[in-house]
Amino acid sequence: MKQELYRKLVAYLVENQDKFYRLAFSYLKNQEDALDVVQSAICKALEHYGELKSEAALKTWFYRIVLNESIILYNKRKREILTQDSEWMEQSYEEKGFDIHDDLYARIDRMEETAQKIIKLRFFEELTLEEIAQVLEMNVNTVKAKLYRGLKALKIAEGEEEETWTV
């Protein structure tokens, strides 16, 4: 049983590695950090696969690991003091195939943290509301409410921006 679960976990990780990278990149905005997070999450998953209760929970279980690792590294990077030396400054990285409007993305990043997670998991990772509720360990109705509040906030922000364009 455990050997079969391990084999399915490895197959799932290999098959969906680009999705995990995309989620990590959406938080960290840095190629190397996103790759580090995915690698760390995979190591943790392989070390702790015995804690997985069923194969059905595999997807949400691993997304929770990637999400938590991304947030941990994001918070760590936020606390680090950046040097003013230009040779140490990171060059921006444009993710090919991850074509999203920068203004919209910036607005999502300014939202409340839970709303950010829900919107990113729903629209960028295409998880169902039930899967998001499992990943975030929340009630489905809470996820729906936060999603619709977040979308309303984005729509309001988009409307305000359009008004400034027409002036």
Q: Per-residue confidence of the chain (167 residues) as pLDDT tens digits?
A: 678 888 999 999 999 999 999 999 988 889 999 999 999 999 999 999 888 888 888 999 999 999 999 999 988 887 775 544 444 445 554 554 444 456 778 888 888 999 999 999 998 888 999 999 999 999 999 999 999 999 998 888 766 655 544 43
Sequence-ordered list of residues with C-beta below 8 angstroms from that of 83, at least 6 positions apart, any chain: 89
Q: Note the pTM of the prediction, 2 decimals.
A: 0.71
- Do 110 and 64 lie in one domain? The reply is no
Residues 7 and 42 reside in one and the same domain? yes
Same domain? For 68 and 2 the reply is: yes
Tokens 């040779």 belong to which residue?
87
Whether 92 is in a domain gets the answer: no
Per the structure, the count of domains in the chain is 2
Do 74 and 105 lie in one domain? The reply is no
Q: DSSP letter string over the chain?
A: -HHHHHHHHHHHHHHTHHHHHHHHHHHH--HHHHHHHHHHHHHHHHHSGGG---GGGHHHHHHHHHHHHHHHHHHHHHHSPPP--GGGSPPP-PPTT----HHHHHHHHTS-HHHHHHHIIIIIS---HHHHHHHHT--HHHHHHHHHHHHHHHHHHHHHHHHHHH-
**Residue 24 lies in domain:** 1-78
The reply to whether 60 and 116 lie within a common domain is no
Domain match, 73 and 124 both: no
pLDDT for residue 165? 44
Q: Which of 136, 33, 68 is nearest to 145 (CA)?
A: 136
Last residue of a domain, one of 18, 48, 78: 78
Give the Å distances, CA to CA, from 18 to 96, 97, 125: 12, 11, 10
- C-beta atoms surrounding 129 within 10 Å: 15
pLDDT of residue 97: 45
